[in-house]
Amino acid sequence: MIVVYNEFDNKPQFNIEQPIIPLIANNHWFLFSFDRRSVYFGYWMAIEKKFYKIVEKINIYEDIKKIEIINEKKIVLITKNNKINLFLDSQGFNLTAEKYILLDIDFDFRKIYETEIKNINFNIISQNNSFVIFFDNLDVNVFFEGNLSYINQKIYVNYDYDLKRKSNFYQNEIYKLFKGWVINLKIFSSQKKIEKNIEINYENNLKNFIIKRIFSLYSTSQGFRAGLPWFPQRWFRDELISLLFLDNNFDKSKIIYFYLENLEEIWNRNREDNYILAVDTLPLLIVNLENKIIEEKKDFLICLLRKWENLFNFYQDNLPPQSTWMDTIERKRAIEIDFLYYLSLLRLGLMNEAKKFKIFIKNKIFTNNYPQDEFLRPNLFFVYFLDKNFFNREQWIDFFDNLMANNYLEWGGFSSISKFNPNFIKNYSGELPYSYHQGDSWFWLNNLAYYALNDLNYDNKYYLKISKAVMKNLFKMGVPGYISELSSAENLTYEGSPIQLWSLTSLFYNLK
């Protein structure tokens, strides 16, 4: 499929195989593919921190020749004799066409992560040029100009995209509710709140393009979404790391005060509804805080840090399972957490404790008493970003030489474990997370690899190849205009969540 990016002056176009087309705005989104199905595709709304799927798919009976991306919320489908606009406004989903088109609309009413075939009870009211559907205490309004008939046909679908990901839910029964000829169509729910979009503009065309995609994942009431389609919640770790990459053109105070106002309940968690321990939420918040807030809240933050120290005891190698971002493997010690703790001590003015801990860590490292796997993971690029003065240049070069020999992938990324480790898995394993942190290459760390190697004047053939791979994922693969969570180690692919917040924000950081 030919995809054209109209936001750039030269309007670059690429032939993308089976693209997943995105329309994304603060608290609703529409993802669809002409070729594949997923239970996670379709039109979704965020309503009171719950996520509802409304439309499964809109089937347009015209031969699409080209897709023009106008922005993150609008695309144009070009056919031989017609132009069809698909876009999100603050209220809902819209379709307009120059000439009448034949279409039908598949509905699948479900909440996120509901993965079962179920009989859905809904009621429908027909009015002039509109229908109102009621289900699960929600209303769905369908307005149209043309002739749209209610057909209520149950159909069976196979989710080939999910089957490839080894999901155990890849067949479903859904409803083809409407069919007809229309020139205008609007779908919305009165329960979805209307939110304002964040508008930040840069002279740099690419930077402007990326920041729009980043803020398409932002809701003024719910913060940043970790990714779409299956990570639409606010994940504290992802959000706080992403804040480190954003510049001062974005007022972060609303997000920061969400954490400060809820910190006693969430300081050791990564989501509001998640009770698995997270070791990094508190230190990530502290390193994000401005000096003024540090001074105002110092006693409160130190008190919480003491609780944190008692829980995680950083002078022992004994981190709880699943407590770091690499939550599918056991790490008794994590180098990025050590750096975050050290920086937290500095930010809170605990200089003697910081000095003591720095000596402790360096002694463990240089006497080979530090877990050696930690130096064969690209988390090293994150710790360079956090504090490049912790080691001298020669020491960093030695670390990165070793990482390059063990983890560098010829297509331009880094594997999450050494290629020579017996646990290394070269191909993405889908919902069975074996490869997740034992092979898969994460784009947020690849972007930081570019930053670190460039900053050190390392051999530029490496970081230029990294940049090329990231840009290919951004413009030519998967979801046009967005970067996926990760890639297989074997070849450059788009895997995991096809839209990932920190993949975008870490790239943004590199765009000076």
Q: Same domain for 353 and 403?
A: no
**Whole-angstrom Cα distance, residue 341 to residue 330?**
19
Span between the terminal Cα atoms of the chain, in Å:
32
pLDDT (0 to 100) of residue 334? 97
The four Cα atoms 451, 455, 456, 459 give a dihedral, to 10 degrees, of: 70
209 in a domain, yes or no? Answer: no
173 in a domain, yes or no? Answer: yes
72 touches 24 (CB < 8 A) = yes
224 in a domain, yes or no? Answer: no
Parallel, antiparallel, or unpaired for β 92-111 and 123-127? unpaired
Q: Same domain for 363 and 386?
A: no
Q: Alpha helix (H) ranges present in 118-184?
A: 160-164
The tens-digit pLDDT sequence of the chain (512 residues) is 999 999 999 999 999 999 999 999 999 999 999 999 999 999 999 998 899 999 999 999 999 999 999 999 999 999 999 999 999 999 999 999 999 999 999 999 999 999 999 888 899 999 999 999 999 889 999 999 999 999 999 999 999 999 999 999 999 999 999 999 999 999 999 999 999 888 899 999 999 999 999 999 999 999 999 999 999 999 999 999 999 999 999 999 999 999 999 999 999 999 988 888 999 999 999 999 999 999 999 999 999 999 999 999 888 999 999 999 999 999 999 999 999 999 999 999 999 999 999 999 999 999 999 999 999 999 999 999 999 999 999 999 999 999 999 999 999 999 999 999 999 999 999 999 999 999 999 999 999 999 999 999 998 899 899 999 999 999 999 999 999 999 999 999 999 999 999 999 999 999 97
Parallel, antiparallel, or unpaired for β 123-127 and 130-135? antiparallel
> 83 — phi, psi (to 5°)?
-125, 130
Q: Which long-range contacts (CB under 8 A, 24 or more apart) does 297-306 make?
A: 297/260, 298/348, 298/349, 300/263, 301/348, 302/348, 302/350, 304/263, 304/264, 304/267, 305/344, 305/348
485 in a domain, yes or no? Answer: yes
Decide which of 351, 369, 387 is a domain's last residue: 369
Tokens 């920086």 locate to 343
Q: Same domain for 343 and 393?
A: no
Q: Same domain for 396 and 364?
A: no
Q: Same domain for 333 and 392?
A: no
Q: Same domain for 250 and 136?
A: no
Decide which of 369, 389, 417 is a domain's last residue: 369
pLDDT (0 to 100) of residue 314? 84
Decide which of 157, 188, 219 is a domain's last residue: 188
Q: Same domain for 360 and 386?
A: no
Q: Same domain for 99 and 116?
A: yes
pLDDT (0 to 100) of residue 274? 80
Question: For 137-156, b where at least 16 C-beta lie within 10 A, e where not — what string?
Answer: ebebbbbbebebeeeeeeee
The four Cα atoms 338, 343, 344, 346 give a dihedral, to 10 degrees, of: 130
Q: Is the dihedral of CA 472, 473, 479, 481 positive or negative?
A: negative
230 in a domain, yes or no? Answer: no
Contacts of 356 (CB under 8 A, 6+ apart): none
pLDDT (0 to 100) of residue 58? 98
Q: Same domain for 361 and 421?
A: no
Q: Which long-range contacts (CB under 8 A, 24 or more apart) does 356-360 make?
A: 357/314, 358/390, 360/315
Amino acid, res. 303? C
Domain that holds residue 447: 371-512
288 in a domain, yes or no? Answer: yes
Q: Same domain for 441 and 485?
A: yes
> 192 — phi, psi (to 5°)?
-75, 125
pLDDT (0 to 100) of residue 120? 83
**Taking Cα atoms as reference points, which of 443, 410, 437, 405 lies closest to residue 424?**
437
Q: Using the 8-state DSSP alphabet, how is residue 375 labeled?
A: G
- Count how many Cα atoms sit within 13 Å of the Cα of residue 186 in the half-sphere of its side chain: 13
Q: Same domain for 299 and 424?
A: no
Strand (E) or helix (H) holding 400: helix 393-407
**Taking Cα atoms as reference points, which of 151, 138, 137 lies closest to residue 92?**
138
pLDDT (0 to 100) of residue 418? 98
Measured from the Cβ of residue 317, the count of other Cβ atoms closer than 10 Å reads 14
> 352 — phi, psi (to 5°)?
-65, -40
49 in a domain, yes or no? Answer: yes
Q: Same domain for 362 and 380?
A: no
* Structural domain total, the chain: 3
> 167 — phi, psi (to 5°)?
-75, 145
Peptide bond into 229 cis (omega under 30): yes
301 in a domain, yes or no? Answer: yes
Q: Which two tokens stand for residue 488?
A: 């297989």
